[in-house]
Structures are given as structure tokens and as C-alpha cells.
Structure 1
Amino acid sequence: MQRTVVDAGKGKLSLNLRELLHYRDLFWVLAYRDLRVRYAQTFLGLFWAFIQPAATLLIFTVVFGMAVQVDTGGIPYPVFAIAGMSAWAYFAFVLNQSGNSIIGAQEMVKKIYFPRLVIPLSKAVVGFVDFVVALLFMAVLMLIYGVTPSVNIVYLPFFILLTIISALAVGIWLSALTIRYRDFQHVVPFLVQFGLYATPIAYPAKTIIASLPEWAVVLYYLNPMAGVVEGFRWSVLGVDALSVYSYISFGLIALLFVSALFYFRKVERVMADIV
């Protein structure tokens, strides 16, 4: 199929910021379209963004808060869990959506030129709406249980940014890998399900550090969200200061993000031919 190339540079693909800014209108159109489609013809609409974390929180509260009774450092368990769940839910959403994002837009990819990175980036914006709802839900629970935000709350914007970068890093990798290896369409749901329990959401990170040998703890923190969730909870609630292992996660996020951009650029050159 013949492609219409809209680029003065003979179709040369680029990931520079200037080009992305040039296509910012397309970026917002895709994000707005996905947001409308997600809640179109639903009775509850945006309220689903509240129901999903609430249902997961209820299960965690019954299993880990009542049955197992994990040590939350004196914080009511629902507040403790939602502080980690809000960050994880955003990460999981971007993974699920980014994995098949290029394949889902293959007709557009084949016909016209635009920075393909716009597609997974637009998914991150859609997920941010749910992220804000989850943060508001957390604030309501803190009011109900009388939990005062920690003085570390000034660091919360940093950990929100780190959550977004982490989600984009893995999401961009998956969107590029799925084009070449369609097996990743089946791997992503498994990663999300496994990661929910391999991340300190329902339990404190100190439990893992205290119960596992050092080599296993290092492997555990190769999960990029392990350090992010730990820092997110610390900044909001002030419990469990960041462990030295959390910097393993932070370093991995930086590595994943940079390498994802390079690999995506490499695949982007042949994306229209193999999608």
C-alpha cells in the first residue's frame, strides 16, 4: 500500500522534541478520542475510574488488612494500600494500552507519516485522568480516617513524575517489541498481574527486605515500580523511609526510558512495513 509521506526531510523519522511539538495537535486529538471511546455508552462513565481501585482496595483490605494484618506503621490499612495502588494503577494502565497501541493504529501508521511516539504518549495522558481520580480517592480516605499528610508531601510531584516516566519507559519498549514479536500481546497481562503482587502495594517494602536474602532483594527492586511505590507512600504518609535498594529501581527507570527511545527510533524506520 502506497504511503503518503508528510515530511520535508524525505520521510526521515526523528524523535526530537521539536517534531513532537509540531504534531502536538495530533497528540491531543488521539488522547481525547481514546478518552471518549473508553467511557462512551457506559452508564457510570468516569465513575468507573473510581470503582476499579475501590474494588481492588476492598479485596486487599480483607485479605491483607484483616486476615494477614500486615504492619502498616500505624496507618489505617485502606489509606496505606491506596497510597501504593494509585501509582501502580496508572503504571498498569499504560502498560496494557501501550502494548497494542501501534498495532491498533496500524491503518494510520501505514498511510501517513507522523512521529509514531505520539501514539504511546497519548495513552499515558488518558491514564492520567484515572490517576488523578485515584489521588482524589486517596485524599478522601485520608480525611475519613484522619490521616495527616507527611511533611514529605513536597516530594510527591517528583514521585508522580517518576511514575509517569516509569510507565512510559516500559510502555514504549512494549509498543515497539509487540510489533516485531506479537507474543508480547499475551505477556503484558501476565506482567501486570504478577507485578501487582511483586510490588509493595498490599504490604510494606520492609517486609521484603527483612525476609529475603540480599541477592533476592536486589532482584526484587529490579521491578521499577518497587522503588516508586515505596517513595510514593513515604512522601504522602511518611512511613518507611526510602531504602538504599530503591535507588536500584530509580536507576533502572532511567536506563529503560533512554533505551526505549533509542529502540523505538530504530523500529520506527520500518514500522509501516512490519505492522
Structure 2
Amino acid sequence: MSEKLEPQYHDRDRFDPMVGRVVRQFVLIALVVVVTTLLDLPAAIVVLSTGLVLLALGLIEIAHRRRRWRQAEAQLRRVDEQSRNWRRRLDALLYESQQSTMALSKMIDGVVMLSPELRILLMNKAAQDLFALPSGGDYLDRIFSEVVRVPEINQAVRSAQAGDGCQEVTVEIHDQSSTTPVRLRVDRVADRDDSNVLLTIRDETEVHRVEAMRREFVANFSHEIKTPIAAIKGYGETAELAIDDDPTAATHFLRQIQGQCLRLERLVADMM
């Protein structure tokens, strides 16, 4: 967490402007002296009056200073508390940002966020790897089409940014030593012209491998199943012809049909 903030209070002797009050006090004292002199009062009364005026002025000044300082301290405490609250919010936002960055860096799918001007705002490591970009490069704030030079991808980005709806495209990314099929989904974050554009990229290598295995399995199974089916069909037709003239041969063919059925059962069991 960040360093603890301590309130910084102003120096008391420098807080209040004093010149105006000092001038007013001297004017009031001079006025008292002038009035008592014009009234031809004894010197003792002049001194006493002046002292009382000074005492009253001092008490008023003390009360004024204390009131102003309490107001200032209360205001400073409020400002300090607001500063602490904002610092806590900032720390929380920084923590959430760090957690989001870590989560994006651990994802196996690529994520790219583009500004309305199609500049890169965010690109995680998986996206860099799937686009076959050099690691350690600085791609932020660069034009996306200058970084990823794949026409199909750039066309999908422009279409999504123009408001043509979600775009999905499958392309092959060629590296120096390999070719990786990737599937992209491109969409605007919000339904307005100045919205950011979000790209999600997924490696389709495993999907293609599974699809190739499926096609191979279907081809092999079709080949294996054709032989017993053809034999059953042939034996059935022969048995039908021989059942009246040669019951023994018909029985033989029926046994062959049974054997081919067992073979089919074994094929189905192996498939399961």
C-alpha cells in the first residue's frame, strides 16, 4: 500500500493577515487618548482607559484568533480526510488494474482493445504470440493495421468499427517456422460511433486437429463397415435363392450372415 499521508498544518503566526487589525487597534487607542485629553481628564484616568481599551482589544484578538484557527483546523481536517479517501480509491484502482493485467497475461486467448481511432490501447501476451509479433515490442498507441498486416483481420475491424455488427473470421498466421490457424471475434464495446473495439483471438490448432481425427475416424469406420454389410447383403440374396432348392446351402449362408453380424457388433464395441 502507499505511504501514509499526514496532515500538513500551516504555521499559526503566518496564517492570519495582521496589518489591518494592528492599524485599527492603534487608531482606536489614539482616539481614546484624544477623547480623554479633550475632556481634560486626569492622567491616571487616561492611562486606565487606555489600559482597559488595550485589554479589551487583546481579548477580542485572542477570541478572534482562536475562532479563526478552529475554523482553519476543521477545514484542513476535512481536506486531509478527502485526500485520504482519494488515496484509498486510487490505491484500490491501481490494485484492480494490476489484478486485471495479471489475469489478461495468464489468459490463453488473445485480447486486444482498440480506440475509436483504431489505436492499440491494450494487448495481452497471448495476442502477441498468436499474431506472431516479436516479444518485448512496444505496441501501445500504435495503429492496429500497422502492427497486424492481415487484410481479412483489418477488414473485420473496420466493419465492426463502422457498426456492421459482430465480425468473426478465421485466418492462418504465418510465422517463420509454423502456421497457426486462429479465429477472431471483433465487436464494438458500446453501440455508438466513438466506442472502443474489442478483439478476442483463439488458437484453432487443437480444433483443427480434432476435426482431422474425426474425418480420419469416419473414413476408417466407413471402410471397415462396408465389407460386412456387403457380405451380409450378398449372403442374404444367395440364401433367398437357395432356400427352396438347397436348404443346406441356405443354412450355410445364414451362418455367414450371423458371423458378419458378430463382426459388426465387435466394430461397434471397439468404437465405443
**Structure 2 length as normaliser, TM-score?**
0.20
**Structure 1 length as normaliser, TM-score?**
0.20
Query: Which protein has greater RCO, CA pairs closer than 8 Å, 6+ apart?
Result: 1
Computing the radius of gyration from Cα coordinates, the structure with the larger value is: 2
Greater strand fraction, Structure 1 or Structure 2: 2
Greater helix fraction, Structure 1 or Structure 2: 1
